[in-house]
């Protein structure tokens, strides 16, 4: 099971989508999952998650794991 800690967005995306050929593809898939989960997206926005930030905080990772399951 993955550890709750700070992750670069691309690193976490590749954990969820290891079959993707590129980190960009994995990141696009993870973004789609997050935007598709309205509760998760709302909670991340409450944390003040700026869209261009390069990493997720441990709190954001905990929310992602809660709503999407750990990779």
* Domain locations along the chain: 7-68
pTM for the predicted model, two decimal places: 0.92
Whether residue 20 has pLDDT greater than 90: yes
Question: Where in the chain does DSSP place strands (E)?
Answer: 7-8, 55-56
Give the 3-state secondary structure of residue 13.
Answer: helix
Q: Specify whether the CB–CB gap between 4 and 63 falls below 8 A.
A: no
Q: What is the mean pLDDT of the chain?
A: 94
- And the tokens for 14? 């590749």
Please provide the size of the chain in residues: 71
> Per residue in 34-64, pLDDT tens?
999 999 999 999 988 777 889 999 999 999 9
């Amino acid at each position: 099971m993955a550890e709750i800690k700070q992750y670069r967005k691309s690193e976490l995306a590749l954990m969820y989508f290891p079959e993707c050929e590129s980190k960009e593809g994995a990141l696009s898939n993870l973004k789609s999952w997050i935007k598709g989960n309205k509760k998760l997206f709302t909670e991340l926005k409450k944390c003040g998650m700026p869209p261009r930030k390069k990493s997720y905080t441990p709190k954001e990772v905990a929310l992602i794991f809660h709503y999407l399951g750990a990779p």
